[in-house]
Chains A and B, each alone.
Chain A
């Protein structure tokens, strides 16, 4: 792979021989999904093998940068397909050289795809990121925690004579109380969402304000209950936490098929 090839926006016209694969669905006839593909609205259609279909669009052989624009295009196709089908999402940027290569994928992975499609039938994913407002949480802790309140009062009263160690001690106590609070919130939220979801997965938090970065797998028929529950929880914690709630998504976090793929030369 040369550098020239890796630039997503090359000037010279490249033949659209490649197939960008968005997802795998179960469908035994060909389907069109409109001109919504990656790379300024490419036609999205299926490549079929038996009762499986890969949702693809034509593309030059390039490496797609994970820019917001490209990732949104990828996600938009999957959202569109998801309205009608249970799907297995492919990783962003998966490009095959030809229709034959896509068919080889469906053929060789037929059983695994079928199993996962069965398992994911009528299930959708929701994302829940929770951020806290540090100052508000500290204020709540100082209000509710007797020991911390007492120590703080003492330090304020004897500002001149209060030792460095008393301040250190206060800092440590607040730190510990915050960690405890974070764990308590997260556990409570998970607990409340348990009976309206099938599974959950916690991902690494992003930045220093986030306390939860989770994905929930939900039965389509429970979508409304899950929705209502999240809204109720966010009301409950409205003063302390900010909720970022997204979806429905394809089950990105719950499908893990290791495809045996290699670089096509």
Chain B
């Protein structure tokens, strides 16, 4: 729930309910968009295909790949902020004792 919601909600009671519902929905949509890396991964696959088909050269590939990696990192950061699971980084067997 964002700051905006709090500010808008505090002094009102009645008619604001509709606004709050909308804001929560917006919140949810924004959150989904910020934390979904599927379209970015599709971009990456498309880019690799273009390289393999010889439609772009290495230099062009690396330039666009760097941009995509940046986007992936951003999504990862948002996911961490929202306490969602992320791929990559150290893992261990769930429930295992560190001293084991």
Which 7 residue pairs of A and B lie closest in terms of their CB atoms, listed nearest first?
A63-B88, A264-B90, A261-B91, A260-B94, A264-B92, A262-B94, A93-B88
Using an 8 Å CB-CB cutoff, how does the interface string of A168-194 with B read, 1 for contact, 0 for none? 000000000000000000000000000
Residues of B contacting A263 in the complex (Cβ-Cβ under 8 angstroms): 89-91
A-B contact list, 21 entries, CB within 8 Å: A1-B80, A6-B73, A61-B90, A64-B88, A65-B73, A66-B44, A68-B48, A91-B87, A93-B88, A93-B89, A95-B90, A96-B92, A97-B90, A101-B92, A101-B93, A101-B96, A105-B93, A109-B93, A207-B46, A207-B49, A210-B49
Residue with the greatest number of chain A CB neighbours at <10 A, chosen from B46, B86, B92, B96:
B92
Residues of A contacting B59 in the complex (Cβ-Cβ under 8 angstroms): none
Which of A3, A64, A104 is close to B92, meaning CB atoms less than 8 Å apart?
A: A104
Known: A65-B69, A206-B46. 5 other contacts (CB 8 A): A63-B89, A64-B88, A68-B61, A97-B92, A101-B92
Q: How far is the CB of A65 from chain B (nearest CB, A)?
A: 5
A104 and B89 within 8 A (CB) = no
B80 and A93 within 8 A (CB) = no
Q: Which of B28-61 contact A (CB under 8 A)?
A: 42, 44-46, 48-49, 51-53, 61
Q: How far is the CB of B83 from chain A (nearest CB, A)?
A: 11
Cα–Cα distance between A167 and B94 once the two chains are bound (Å)? 61
Q: How many residues of B contact A (CB 8 A)?
A: 29
A1 and B86 within 8 A (CB) = yes
Residue with the greatest number of chain A CB neighbours at <10 A, chosen from B42, B52, B65, B90:
B90
**Nearest chain B residue, comparing its CB with the CB of A129:** B49
Cα–Cα distance between A64 and B44 once the two chains are bound (Å)? 15
Q: Which of B54-100 contact A (CB under 8 A)?
A: 61, 65, 69, 72-73, 76-77, 80, 86-96, 100
B89 and A6 within 8 A (CB) = yes
Q: How far is the CB of B67 from chain A (nearest CB, A)?
A: 12
Cα–Cα distance between A88 and B23 once the two chains are bound (Å)? 46
B94 and A261 within 8 A (CB) = yes
Residues of A contacting B77 in the complex (Cβ-Cβ under 8 angstroms): 3, 6
Q: Which of A215-265 contact B (CB under 8 A)?
A: 242, 244, 259-264
Residues of A contacting B88 in the complex (Cβ-Cβ under 8 angstroms): 6, 63-64, 93, 95
A206 and B65 within 8 A (CB) = no
Cα–Cα distance between A3 and B80 once the two chains are bound (Å)? 10
Q: How far is the CB of A23 from chain B (nearest CB, A)?
A: 16
Residues of B contacting A264 in the complex (Cβ-Cβ under 8 angstroms): 90-92
